[in-house]
Structure 1
């Protein structure tokens, strides 16, 4: 097998990654755990009203935990696709009413 064939075979094995985001809308600190293929693991503390952005394998599962009176409590289970960040294109941004930005959140 020559080098080009080996590179093509290696690139087919590469895991597709997604850009994801999670906003902690609660008034309590949470822990986000993301587990994916190829021993991918991410664990981050997300403070109240904080936005966490991260990249992970497309098939990853995401768990959000908090600490209650009885110990750790699972708040929600999500997939990476549930948290997929949508990047607006310049054409879509032009169609927004004046004063609205896809990057800002009001309220």
Structure 2
């Protein structure tokens, strides 16, 4: 009679959406779709405000902040201080660097963006 009792089968492949390895590409793909949607929608009332924010984040001040953050990030990586509070600081620094430099990188990857 033991052979009649089967364990419940587990799914062979599960997706953990809490994992940054899964969530980050999903967010990136969503961000790539935004310009296409913006072009399709035409001239919306909030486009002026969004253009001002993009200009502010892509200007010379943002480039200077991104450069300083990359230098700090390089020193932290070079000296191996990536645990505890400094690890958190490293992640925040890298994240802010991505935020401030995103417009510059996209313009470099996609000319005329």
TM-score (normalizing by structure 2): 0.23
Larger radius of gyration, structure 1 or 2?
2
